[in-house]
Structure 1
Amino acid sequence: MSVPSSNPSSSSSVSLRMVLILGLLSAIGPFAIDMYLPALPQIGASLDAPVGAVQASLTAFFIALGVGQPVFGSLSDMWGRKNPLYLGLVIFVLASIGCALAQDIHTLVILRFVQGLGAAAGMAIPRAVVRDLHTGHEAARMMSLLMLVFSVSPILAPLAGSGVIAIGGWRLVFWAVTMAAVLGLAAMVRGLPETRDAAARLSSSVSDALKAYALLMRDWHYLGLVFIGACALAGFFVYLAGSPFVLINHYGLSTTQYSVAFALNAVAFIGSAQFTGALGKRFGLVNVVKVAASASGVVMASLLAYYLLGGEKLAVLIGLYFVASALMGLVIPTTSVLALEEHGEIAGTASALLGTLQMLTGAVAMQVVGVFSNGKPLPMVIGMAAGALCGVLLTWITLGGDNRTTRAADAQD
C-alpha cells in the first residue's frame, strides 16, 4: 500500500519528504532528552536538587513516553494518524514552556512527565505510518531511513545543548525544544498525508483497541521481538542516565567533550542502521537479529569483564560501546519491523504497545541502576551489560527455531 501522489513521477521525492517529516516528529522526544543531558549537573546546582531528584526528571519523561504511547496509538487507529500527532505536539509545546519557567525540581519533574506524554505521539505514530506504507525488507529500509533522521538527535542535540547552556543556561534548552516542536507542527501541516483511510478508522473503536491489546499480549512471538529491542534500549537508557555523571564528574570531561563522546554512539547506530534493508533482503531479517544481538552480548560482556578486573580507561568504554551501538542499529529497527509485520490492521496499537513496553523497560532499568549509582563506571556498565545479555537470551528463545532467510512480508515486496 502506498500514499497516492498527484504526480507519479514525484513519488520518490514524496517518500523522502515523508521520511524527513516522520524522522523529525520521532526525534522531538529524544531531542528533549539528549539536549537536556549536559544540563543535568547544572540543573541540580540551580534548583538545589540532589543527583537522584535530577535523574527523576529524566525517568519521569521516559515513564510518560511509555504510558502515553498506547493512548496515542489507539487514537491513531480510530482518528487517523495526523490528528493525534497534532494533539501530542500541542501538549509537548505547552509543557516545554512550563519546564522553562519551573522554579523547583518537583515542578520540573511533573512538567517533564506531561512533556513526555506529548512526545509519546511522535514516538508511536510514525512507526504505524511506516507499516501503513510497507512491510518486510522495504519497511526495514524505510525504518532505517527514519532512524537516520531520528538519530541526528543524539549526535547534534548534546552539542547543541552544550552551546545553548553556555549562552543562556539550562532554561534555554526548553525554549529550543519548544521551537523544534513548532517546526514539526508546521512540517506536518504542509507535507504529511493521512495514511489511515476513513474505512479503517470507522472499523476501530475503544473496544477494538482493548481487544487488540489483549491479542498482542497473548502473542508471544510479538512480545519476544518487542523485548529483544527493549533489552537493547534498556542498556542504552542506563548509559543515558549515568554517562553525564560518569564522563563529566568521574572522567573530567567538559560538557562539550561529553557531547562529542555521546555523539559517537549515535554515529555508530546511524551508520549500521542504513544496512538493515540490504542485509535483511540478502540474509533475512531474522538472521540479522540473531547475529547482531549475539555479537552485542559478546561486546558488552567483554566491557563488563574489563571493569570487573579493575580497568579504568575511558577509551575502552567509548570504543566498545561504539561497537555495541552499531550492533543495536541493526537490532532495534529490524525487531520493530518483525514485530509489526503481522499486525498491519492494528499497526498503531501494535506500535504503541511496542513503544510502551520498551520505554517502561528502559525506565525501570534506569531506576534500578540509579539506586546503586555512585558516579563511577562499574554500576552503569553492569546495567548496560545486563540489558545486552538479556537481549541475547530472548533472541534465541524467540527466534532460535526460525531458520527462514525470508518471511512472508518480504516476498510481498
Structure 2
Amino acid sequence: MKIQRMGEREFIALMAALTASTALGIDVMLPALGEIRAAFGLAPDSTTVSWAVTLYLFGLGVAQLLFGPLADRFGRKPALWLGLALYALGATGAALAPSLEFLLVSRLLWGIGAASPRAIALTIVRDRHVGDRMARVLALVMTVFMIAPILGPGIGELLLLSGSWRWVFGFSVVTAVVLSLWLLRLEETLDPRHRLTLDLRRLGAAFRAVVAQRSTLGYGLALAWALSAFLAYLAGSELLFDDVYGRSSQFALLFGVGAAVMAVAALSSTRTIKALGARTVLHRAVACYIAVAAVLAAASLLAGGAPTFWLWWALLTGLNALHVIIVPICNSLAMVPMGEIAGTASAVIGAFSMIVGSLLASLTNRFLLDSVTPLSLGYLGYGALAAACIGWAGRQRLAMTGAPAG
C-alpha cells in the first residue's frame, strides 16, 4: 500500500519533533539530576553530574560533521535512521548504567546519535524552502519544538514519581522508536543530482565553501555565541534555582512556563518576518537582546549575584524568547547559498556552533557558585559577540527569494 505524501503541517510537525528529540535528551533528565547525584554518591550541590549534559552536547556537536556528509551521500532518511539507532542505544546505556562513568559514556553516545536529527532536520527544510520562507518555516518548527522544554521536565517529574531516574532515560528510547516509524511517511528530499560521494577532497572543498562564504560564516559564528549563553542556562538553571533561590520545587513549572513564552515568541515571529523581512526582524531582536542582557547583568552585579528572583526570571525568560527569534533567522540566512551542499553545510554550522557553545557553557557554569552573575554576564558578553558577527555577515547582501516546496 502506497503511503500518502506528507502534507506541510505534518512535515513541520515531524521536523519539530526531530529537532525536539535533541532537546528532550536534556530537558527530561533535568528533574532527575538530584537523584542521579544521590545514586552515585555525589554531594547535593555537586556540579560533576553536569558533565552528563556537557558530554551529550559535545557529541551532538562533533557528530554532525559525520551525519551531514552521510546525508549528502546516502540520503536524508538513511542518515536519520542511523542516528536514531545510536540515540536509542545511548539512552538504553544511560538507563542501565552501573556507574557514573558508564552513564557519562552513554550520554556521549546518545549525543552522537542526536546529532543526526539536529543537522538533518535543518537540511530537509533547506531542501524544500529558502530565504524568508525558510525562516518562517524554521520559526514554526521552533514553536512546536518548544513543546519539548514545556513538557520535558514535567514528564521527567512524572517518571520519577512512577519509578527511578532510570525510567527517565528509558522514555527517550521510546521516543527514538516512534520517530523512526514516523519517518516512513516522509519522502526522500535529497535531489539525486546533488548526491555527493564520500571523497575527502570533495568534503574538504565543501567545508572550504562554507567558511569562504562570508554570510554563512558570519551567521554561523553568531549562532555559536548565542548558543553559548542558552546552553549555559540549560545546564545550570536547575542548580541556580536550588542554590541561589531555594526554589527547586518550582523548577519544572517555571522552566515550562519560560518555554511557553519562547514558543509564543517563535510563533509571533513568523508573521513579523512575513511583514518586515528576516533581516529587519533579526536586527531588531538582537538590539533588544543586548538591552535586556545589559539590564540583567547590572541587576546581578548590584545585588551581589542574587537579584530579586522574579526580576531575574523575567529578564532571563525575555532573553530566551529573543533567542528563539534570532536562531532560526541566523540558520536560514547562513543556509541561503548552500543549496547543493546543504547536508554538509548544515553539519559544519551545527557542529561548530554546538561545540563552541557547549564548551563555553561548561566554562561559564564552573563559576555558578551561589551567584547568577556569571550567567548574566555570559548573556551580555556572548550576545554582544553575536551582534558583531551578524553585523559583519549582513554587509554581504544576499538575494532572499522564495522556493516552492517539493
Q: TM-score range by the shorter chain?
A: over 0.9
Q: Matches of 1:360 and 1:379 in 2, distance apart? A: 20
Contact 2:128 2:403 in 1 (8 A): no
Alignment partner, residue 281 of structure 1: 274
Please list every run of 5 or more consecutive structure 2 residues that lacks an aligned counterpart in the other structure.
Answer: none
Aligned residues: 399
SS at match of 1:274: helix
Cα shift at 1:103: 1.8
| Residue type of the alignment partner of 1:245 | L
Cα shift at 1:17: 1.3
Alignment TM-score, normalising by the size of structure 1? 0.91
Corresponding position: 1:162 with 2:153: no
Q: Matches of 2:346 and 2:24 in 1, distance apart? A: 20
| Residue type of the alignment partner of 2:365 | G
Cα shift at 1:93: 0.7
Cα shift at 1:214: 1.7
Please list every run of 5 or more consecutive structure 1 residues that lacks an aligned counterpart in the other structure.
Answer: none
Alignment partner, residue 77 of structure 1: 72
Q: Matches of 2:201 and 2:389 in 1, distance apart? A: 31
Contact 2:72 2:196 in 1 (8 A): no
Corresponding position: 1:43 with 2:47: no
Corresponding position: 1:244 with 2:238: yes
Q: 1:279 to 1:244 in 2, by over 3 A?
A: same
Q: Matches of 2:381 and 2:64 in 1, distance apart? A: 26
Per-residue deviation, residues 156-185 of structure 1 (Å, max 9, x unmatched): 101111111222121111101111111111
Q: Matches of 1:82 and 1:319 in 2, distance apart? A: 40
Contact 1:238 1:384 in 2 (8 A): no
Alignment partner, residue 267 of structure 1: 260
SS at match of 1:374: coil
Alignment partner, residue 134 of structure 1: 129
Cα shift at 1:410: 2.6
SS at match of 2:47: helix
Larger deviation, residues 279-288 vs 55-64: 279-288
Cα shift at 1:390: 1.9
What root-mean-square deviation, in Å, do the aligned CA atoms of Structure 1 and Structure 2 show? 2.0
Alignment partner, residue 196 of structure 1: 190
SS at match of 1:49: coil
SS at match of 1:312: coil
Q: Matches of 2:77 and 2:199 in 1, distance apart? A: 17
Contact 2:215 2:333 in 1 (8 A): no
Q: Matches of 1:149 and 1:204 in 2, distance apart? A: 34
Contact 2:133 2:402 in 1 (8 A): no
Q: 1:307 to 1:15 in 2, by over 3 A?
A: same
| Residue type of the alignment partner of 2:351 | T
Alignment partner, residue 408 of structure 1: 399
Per-residue deviation, residues 106-160 of structure 1 (Å, max 9, x unmatched): 1111110001000100100010000000111211121112112221111110111
Alignment partner, residue 34 of structure 1: 27
Q: Matches of 1:213 and 1:261 in 2, distance apart? A: 41
Contact 1:60 1:113 in 2 (8 A): yes
Alignment partner, residue 202 of structure 2: 208
Q: Matches of 2:403 and 2:274 in 1, distance apart? A: 12
Cα shift at 1:282: 2.5
Q: Matches of 2:286 and 2:302 in 1, distance apart? A: 24
Cα shift at 1:384: 2.6
Cα shift at 1:203: 6.0
Pick from 3, 11, 17: which aligns with 2:10? 17
| Residue type of the alignment partner of 2:285 | A
Pick from 349, 358, 371: which aligns with 2:353? 358
Give the share of equivalent positions with the same residue, in percent.
30
